[in-house]
Amino acid sequence: MSPRLASLMWVSLSLFEDASVGSPRKVTLVRLAGEIARCVAGVGPIVVEGEVYRPATTKRGWVYFTLRDRAAQIDVKLPAAVVRQYMPRSGERVEVAATLQWSNDRGQLALLAQGVTPVGAGAIAALIQATRARLGADGLLDRPRRPIPILPSAIGVVCGADAAVRKDIESVVAERCPGYPVVFFETTVSGPTASRGIVEGIRALSSDPAVEVIVLARGGGDAPSLLPWSAEEVCRAAAACPVPVVSAIGHESDRPLCDEVADLRCPTPSLAAMAVVPDVAGLTRKVDEALRRAASALEQSAGRAERRLAAVQTRRALTGRLEQAAFRLERVTIRLGGCHPRTALRLAEDRLAGAPWRRHVWEEMGRAAGRLDSDVRHLRALSPQRTLQRGYAVVTGPEGTVIRRAADLSPGDELAVSLAEGSLAASVVSVNSLPELGSPGMAQA
């Protein structure tokens, strides 16, 4: 027995459970409306096909129209969120995914739509073309594609609840890299309400920090069953996804719009799994090949270095460099010891005895030593000490200044007299302004 027939029988029993055979049961209008509402709620979600008749839009953005067929019709309420996905036109044949809704105040039965899908290849093609135009105007069809990671931490898969697609992907994983982490999000993948589940799957998987790539997978089907993968909200969710998205919908000939928005398009779910799941055997071969090339390059580099080293005349090269270094060291030593060439000469003789020095270096150092001796003798001749040794003295006053004139002194002034050997203190007894004798500041002893 079908659920709808069972619900109708339940209503009949509820309405007439207290009635005797042949006599109607008296009920209030409120109870009747409540029992009808409970019966309608028991029908559950349904999909109804029919023709759109007299659609009208309200200020809130809702659309009301009549869905009719050859011998029946019913009112349909289309929320604004559903209208943004598809706007039905009068005369079109559509499928409406909805739930029955009973209005007590109006006494009307209507369909509260959750999604609307056009029926017919022409209508579906027109819908896809209009969606493609909007996506292209926003730059989503020609945006730069993101690269697929080589070793993602985990792979996310949005697929249907059927076992076929999931088994195909799991078999590829078992063959290429057994145990590789794959997170599946199963949802409805066909019908007017499928696009919402797909969008929810994309957002849920992208929020997982381990998922670094998402695969949209579905088996083959006709145009109406694949229409959710061309829904505008699905395409925008794939483009806005923070991780790369791989589209693997239907077969080779199926091209929903999410293929044009995704970062990579694969003809089948199995090929998509091969594109994102790393191949352990292939990676091992690549690593071995890289190690072999590195070892070969190191061997070739070492061989070239050995040949260059063997070609160098070690003794001659080192000797020439040593002579240059020694000559530079000797010149620097002379410059640093220029104030006393004899000390520099002695240090050079001590440190570099036996080295093959050139003759002009020694001659230059000898001439420098001779000049130093001449300068020392001249300085000694001009030294004040030599003057004092000839019998002169230096007289300084109370403030330490050298006394050159007697007129600068007064009786009683204390004086200091410096001699060749030692010094003495004196006191002025008298001052005679006589012509100065000898050099200024000097007095004959």
Indicate whether 429 and 367 sit together in one domain: no
Span 145-204, pLDDT tens digits? 999 998 899 999 999 887 688 888 999 998 888 889 999 999 988 877 788 899 999 999
Is 205 a domain residue?
Answer: yes
Largest CA distance in the chain: 175
CA distance 47 to 95: 6
Is 135 a domain residue?
Answer: no
* Whether the Cβ atoms of residue 417 and residue 393 lie closer than 8 Å to each other: yes
What CATH number is given to the structural domain containing 61?
A: 2.40.50.140
Q: Which has more confidence, 323 or 288?
A: 288
Residue 233 is which amino acid?
A: E
Indicate whether 206 and 265 sit together in one domain: yes
Least confidently predicted of 160-164, 232-236, 239-243, 362-366: 362-366
Task: Band the pLDDT of 357: cuts 50, 70, 90.
Answer: very low
Domain limits for position 398: 386-444
Indicate whether 268 and 166 sit together in one domain: yes
Residue among 86, 69, 55, 63 nearest 193 (CA): 86
Span 315-352, pLDDT tens digits? 555 555 666 777 777 777 666 655 555 665 565 565 55
Indicate whether 272 and 394 sit together in one domain: no
DSSP states along 31-97: HHHHHHHHHHHTT--EEEEEEEEEEEE-TTS-EEEEEE-SS-EEEEEE-HHHHHH----TT-EEEEE
Span 72-128, pLDDT tens digits? 888 888 888 877 777 778 777 888 888 888 888 788 888 888 888 777 766 777 778
Q: Is 332 exposed, middle or buried (0-12, 13-18, 19+ CB in 10 A)?
A: exposed
DSSP, collapsed to helix, strand or coil, labels residue 342 as: helix
44: left (phi over 0), alpha (psi -120 to 50) or beta: left
Work out how many domains the chain is built from and give that number: 5
Indicate whether 150 and 35 sit together in one domain: no
- What backbone torsions phi and psi does residue 116 show, to the nearest 5 degrees? -130, 130
* Whether the Cβ atoms of residue 240 and residue 271 lie closer than 8 Å to each other: no
Span 27-71, pLDDT tens digits? 888 888 888 888 877 788 888 888 888 888 888 888 888 888 877
Is 203 a domain residue?
Answer: yes
Indicate whether 375 and 390 sit together in one domain: no
What CATH number is given to the structural domain containing 190?
A: 3.40.50.10550
Indicate whether 29 and 51 sit together in one domain: no
Within a 13 Å sphere around the CA of 203, how many CA atoms are in the beta-carbon half? 11
Indicate whether 29 and 52 sit together in one domain: no
Least confidently predicted of 125-129, 130-134, 360-364: 360-364
Question: Which H or E run includes 132?
Answer: helix 121-137
Question: Which H or E run includes 426?
Answer: strand 423-427
- Mean pLDDT on 391-402: 77
